[in-house]
Amino acid sequence: MRIIIIGFGKLGKGLCRAFIQKAGFLRDTYGLIPRVVAVVDEFGAVANEKGLNPTKLLKVADSFGTVARYKGGKRGKLAIKVIDEVSADLVFELTPTDIHTGEPGISHIKRAMQAGKHVITSNKGPLVVAFGELDLLAKTQGVEFRYSASVGGAVPVIGLAKKLLVGNEIKEIRGVLNGTTNYILTRMSAEGVPQDTVIREAQELGIAEKDPTLDINGIDTACKITIIANSLLGMDAKLRDVKVVGIRRINPDAMKLAQEAGQTIKLIGVARRGYLEVCPKLVPLGHPLAVGGTLNAVTFELDLAREISITGFGAGPMETTSSLLGDLIDIHCTLGA
């Protein structure tokens, strides 16, 4: 399969590493040979329809900060040009999220679909801003569109619901969907220290970004709830439809009062048809959603299976690659079937 990778940060590189490590497995198990024919990063691009060498791509990107230095590479903003001009079967859209405009992700995804290319993305921006439009475009263009990595990192929230639970009616999906805030709350609960101290610690460990506002204010979780509502509950929700309260006001005293009653405080996202919410909730210790550290956890409330909960790592290049690769194999198998 001929692949274009747009965005060559941690995720793009992680995916490239997986192509190297799992080449034999993908070929032997699924007959899938991923051939990277173009890579675009923020400084430039390189394309070769015969296929680029993934090991060399990683080496060049790490040494020079851009794939433009790969043999035949070019500098400049080239994503759209590459999507339009390079023959490929599938585009990985892995650029950073802009939750307000959804760009440049939306343009990349649309152009790819219009060119008849399948799309896999981890980018929440386009899914929050234009889910309905992109979903429809994929259908009218007859291309596959997958976005498992946008919610839950490695935790197969979308895949589980869309594949294995299809016989159920989903009544509600709720969960811990942001590893950064979960780490902060877990540390506050364990150490009884103020939030600012824990945020600094999380930043030093690379768990929190320099500006963790979107996490702390619950917006990142709200984005994931919006995507879940649109993709799994058939809603046409926007970010503004989610009632959001973040964790900013949670202090060590509140945490202690919760613990004394056998509870803990978690930032919980809830998606029910017609009701979308993100807010801190009291969760009994030992409850499936009372997960610690950077873990994510999601509970599906279903008519037949009643309740199913899953937990795992919600971020990290290797963990997220699990979802990206899963989507690729899924598309490969769908097309082959």
Partner 1 sequence: MVMELEDVPGQLIKALEPVARFGGNIKSIMHQRERKTPLGRLPVTLIFEVDERTRLKQILAALKEAGVRVVQIGEREGAIREIVLLVGHIVHTDIKDTIDKLNAIKGVTVSDLNLAIGSLGQESSARMTISADDKDQASLAISRLRDIASKKKLLLITPIEVVQ
Q: Which lies closer to partner 1 via its Cβ, residue 1 or residue 254?
A: 254
Which residue in the set 251, 285, 293, 307 belongs to the binding site for partner 1 (CB under 8 A)?
251
Catalytic residue among 13, 124, 224, 266: 224
Which residue in the set 256, 293, 303, 305 belongs to the binding site for partner 1 (CB under 8 A)?
256
For the bound state, the minimum distance from the C-beta of residue 177 to partner 1, rounded and expressed in Å, comes to 14
Q: Is 224 a catalytic residue?
A: yes
Residue 74: in which H helix or E strand, if any? strand 74-75
Number of chain positions touching partner 1 (CB under 8 A): 25
* Of 94, 101, 96, nearest in space to 239 by CA: 101
What part of residues 151-180 is at the interface with partner 1 (CB under 8 A)? Answer: 174
Tell me how far apart the alpha carbons of residues 125 and 282 are, in angstroms, rounded to a whole number. Answer: 30
Q: Which lies closer to partner 1 via its Cβ, residue 1 or residue 282?
A: 282
What part of residues 260-319 is at the interface with partner 1 (CB under 8 A)? Answer: 260-261, 263, 265-266, 268, 275, 279-284, 287, 289
What part of residues 81-100 is at the interface with partner 1 (CB under 8 A)? Answer: none
What string marks each residue from 101 to 140 as x (binds partner 1 by CB under 8 A) or -? ----------------------------------------
Tokens at 267, concatenated: 């930032």
Specify the amino acid at residue 11: L
Q: Which lies closer to partner 1 via its Cβ, residue 73 or residue 246?
A: 246
Q: What value, to the nearest 5°, has the Cα angle with vertex 33 and ends 28 and 36?
A: 155
Tokens at 206, concatenated: 């690379």
For residue 213, give every residue at least 6 positions away whose Cβ sits within 8 Å of its Cβ, in sequence order, or none: 219
Beta strand 90-93 pairing with 2-6: parallel
For the bound state, the minimum distance from the C-beta of residue 257 to partner 1, rounded and expressed in Å, comes to 4
Tell me how far apart the alpha carbons of residues 211 and 189 are, in angstroms, rounded to a whole number. Answer: 22
Only one residue has tokens 């892995």, namely 94
